[in-house]
Amino acid sequence: MVGVVGFGNGFVSGGGGNRAPGGEVGHNATMNDVLTYLETQRASFAEEPFNAVDSALLAQFCMARGEGVMPRMLAPAPEEDGAAPRGRHRLTALLERLRHRGHGPRGPRERGGAGSAATGDGAGATAGGAAGGAAAANEAAAAASVGAGGLVRAATQTAAAGDGVAAIPGATKAETLDRAEDAQDAGAPTKPIRFTDLLWAELFPTMFSGMHATSMVQQLFWMAASPRFRELLIYDHEAAFDEALDMQFAATTFVCPGQFTYVGYRGTDTTLTGWREDFNMAYMVPVPAQDLAVRYLEAVAADRRLPERLIVGGHSKGGNLAEYAALKASPAVQERIARLYNHDGPGFMPGTFTAADYEPLAGRMTKQVPEDSMVGILMESLMPTEVVRATGRGFEQHTVYRWVVAEGGVDFATVGALPERTERRAEALAAWLASMDGEDRERMVNALFSALKAAGITDAAQLFAGGREWAILRDGVMRAPMADRTTMLNALRGLTRAFSDVTAARNNARRASKK
């Protein structure tokens, strides 16, 4: 999302909005942002407890692609009693089946039952019981194994691969990288690694791509140097990408030995497949990534090497996956969740969850949205919500790199409520979606992506480049087939009407209050 370009060669300003090359925004050493926090926070997690800024940073780092670099989730060896955790076996077997589906030309989309078609008939996996007393010894053994058994092929791959992945005909760069990550080969590490291992690998073009790659490179440098983050162990990086199922999923586990296990979910990358799955949430539950998120959390919880204390989080779509996984997890896993963070992720179709579903996590969950939120206000979530101060306007505030860290540097700066303009936007979007049934929403989503195709958009980065997204969308709508054009125009008229109705209702209420 946003940040400094180049380690030690960043854009430092007092204004918080300086444009760096490539459209990124320089990180601000005067007004605290997450990169300033990362640079200056030297306390260990034992000295300063884990907080929301730490979660936002780890959630953002889940955007790093781990193909051949981060350790995959391996099926566990049997325990002393001869049994192995079922949750991990089920997830690894499922992901292996998905990898062997292949990635040929786009097939017909599977609707309605897409979640079950992709991943089975529900979460399925269980925690396999709480971690045993041998966890600390196992963590120590795992920590000792980091290094020599880590990135066994990094040097040769860096020298030979150039950008790291060969191009696939007809696929965008983001799609090519997603497919390669999905098909992580046997050369991937089998033992946990640290941020320094990723830094030494120097596979930056492979690990970081999209609209905010330079910022993430900067973040990696600071994490590798940070006394707070450099000793974290990276486990169980898993990814799944399937265009026919509209599925884009990735998750990574970060472990502070003896203290906590952070389960982080990736947000949306720039592939249209990822964006399509996001829009599918408007009429489908679960989408495939949500089902995988539950299975992943249960599988990590079943690993007796890891600390019992779980922290679950994600940004954007990743926040939605974190919330969904925590709410759908088994009671044994929910009891171990010390904190759940949803950083500006969308909610769910109305009625997906009730207050009773949130009750087991009461007092241990936080949703955060920036003042000008456009994503976190979508659909329905019953998580307690904080409004975070942020720089920029509109969608620029979606990235955590824009969020302001409070003075003292141990949490985000917050305000009491959403600004009136954001409340009005949230009400209008809710009314608009409520005016359509599931079939209407599905037709609208189909028409939207038909319009993007008509506009020649193959990657979301093209849509947002140069601030011309509305002009591009308008052109695409006019070039789309007649049925899709009609659907989109009707949807846009409905959205305009919803904003007008909400504005009128608020103005009337304001006038009435003055009488």
Cis peptide before 78 (omega within 30 of 0): no
The predicted-structure confidence for 61-101, as pLDDT tens digits, reads as follows: 999 998 888 998 876 655 544 445 666 766 777 766 665 55
Residue 170 vs residue 481, higher pLDDT: 481
Residue 1 included in any domain: no
Residue of 396, 400, 273 lying closest to 345 (CA atoms)? 400
Give the orientation angle of helix 482-514 with respect to helix 420-434, to 10 degrees: 130
Domain boundary among the residues 416, 445, 470 is at 416
Angle 153-302-223 from CA coordinates, rounded to 5°: 45
Structure tokens at 403: 């969020």
Distances (CA, A) of 38 to 29, 33, 42, 408: 11, 9, 8, 13
Residue 138 included in any domain: yes
The predicted-structure confidence for 168-183, as pLDDT tens digits, reads as follows: 666 676 666 655 555 5
Residue 39 included in any domain: yes
Residues 354-358: contacts with CB under 8 Å, at least 24 apart: 354/382, 355/382, 357/327, 357/382, 358/327, 358/382, 358/383
Q: What is the pLDDT of residue 102?
A: 46
Structure tokens at 331: 């009671």
The predicted-structure confidence for 295-320, as pLDDT tens digits, reads as follows: 999 999 999 999 999 999 999 999 99
Question: 404 with 343, same domain?
Answer: yes
Question: 227 with 344, same domain?
Answer: yes
Structure tokens at 131: 């971690």
Domain boundary among the residues 381, 416, 451 is at 416
Mean pLDDT computed over every residue of the chain: 80
Structure tokens at 296: 């992943």
State whether the Cα torsion 226-139-125-127 is positive or negative.
negative
| Euclidean distance between CA atoms 46 and 65, whole angstroms | 29
Question: 347 with 464, same domain?
Answer: no
| Euclidean distance between CA atoms 403 and 166, whole angstroms | 36
Residue 17 included in any domain: no
CA dihedral 220, 224, 230, 233 (to 10 degrees): 60
Instruction: Count the alpha carbons within 13 Å of 87 in the hemisphere toward its beta carbon.
Output: 24
Give mean pLDDT, residues 142-149.
Answer: 42
Q: What is the pLDDT of residue 205?
A: 85
For the chain, how many structural domains are there in total?
2
Q: Map residue 212 onto helix, strand or coil.
A: coil
Q: What is the pLDDT of residue 67?
A: 80
Are the beta carbons of 65 and 207 closer than 8 angstroms? yes
Residue 294 included in any domain: yes
| Euclidean distance between CA atoms 163 and 170, whole angstroms | 18
Residue 465 vs residue 493, higher pLDDT: 493
Residue 4 included in any domain: no
Residue of 298, 292, 388 lying closest to 95 (CA atoms)? 292
Are the beta carbons of 69 and 202 closer than 8 angstroms? no
Q: What is the pLDDT of residue 346?
A: 97
Residues 226-231: contacts with CB under 8 Å, at least 24 apart: 226/38, 226/39, 226/41, 226/42, 227/42, 227/43, 227/44, 228/41, 228/42, 228/43, 228/44, 228/45, 228/48, 228/54, 229/38, 229/57, 229/195, 230/194, 230/195, 230/196, 231/194, 231/256, 231/257
Residue 422 included in any domain: no
Domain boundary among the residues 388, 416, 444 is at 416
Domain range for residue 434?
Answer: 427-514
Question: 302 with 438, same domain?
Answer: no
